Amino acid sequence: MRPLTIPLIAAALLLGLTGCVPGTGGNPLNPAGDPVSPGAPAATTTDSPDPSDTDRPDTDQRCADGQPLELDGQGLEFRVTGACGAVSVRGQDLDIDLESAASILIEGQRTEIESRGGIGGLEIRGDDNDVSSDDSIDAVSISGQANEIEAPTIGSVAIQGGGNVIESDNEPSGSVGDGGNVVKRRD
């Protein structure tokens, strides 16, 4: 019977230790790694962010004269100062406020861009984006659905997709395509 006793003791020890976590007294850990006593409230996603979190992007950006800029993320607000060169935007649910850009490429959904200055070229590859400029946009190219562009002056447009709306004080040249796209004068 001796050979059966050792495996039984090992199994009993293993079962006794499965609920223990070193250093916590058997209590579960919260996301920060601290012990949580039974009945304590769970951590929520509305907790304030940790200021030492280095994975969070810097949402205040500055472009030196004509410097390119890449903005990437989800659900972020960016404030960009300076005259940017090529601006690449990837992600969704972004809110971007900038001074001006030589060009902007948007690849994503639900991005809102407000430019206080002019935009050289605007290319959108995505859906439900909104771009407005207090100055002119030289050229607009859209491959997507339900995008809205507004500026006092728009040079040319090329639209592939449906439900896109372009508003300006002039009548831009170019092709609108099928699918309920609208190019109209602002009221």
How far is CA 182 from each of CA 34, 94, 155, 160, 163, rounded to the nearest angstrom? Answer: 56, 24, 15, 12, 7
Residue 23, domain member (yes or no): no
Stretch (H or E) spanning 133:
strand 130-133
- pLDDT given for residue 15 in this prediction: 43
Would residue 135 count as lying in a domain? yes
| Residue 26 in domain | no
State the residue for tokens 């030492």: 52
Express each pLDDT in 58-69 by its tens digit: 689 999 889 999
Residue 147, domain member (yes or no): yes
Is 144 part of a structural domain of the chain? yes
Let me know if residue 22 belongs to a domain. no
CA distance 44 to 21: 23
Number of domains in the chain: 1
Token pair of 135, please? Answer: 């100055």
Assess if residue 46 is contained within a domain.
Answer: no
Paired residues of 45 in beta bridges: none
Assigned token pair, 83: 């005259």
Rounded CA-CA distance 74/90 in Å is 9
* Residue type (1 letter), 107: E
54 within some domain: no
pLDDT at 40 over 50: no
Report the 10 Å Cβ neighbour count for 32. Answer: 9
For residue 135, the model assigns a pLDDT of 97
> Domain range spanning residue 130?
62-185
pLDDT in tens, 43-83: 332 334 444 545 556 689 999 889 999 999 999 999 999 99
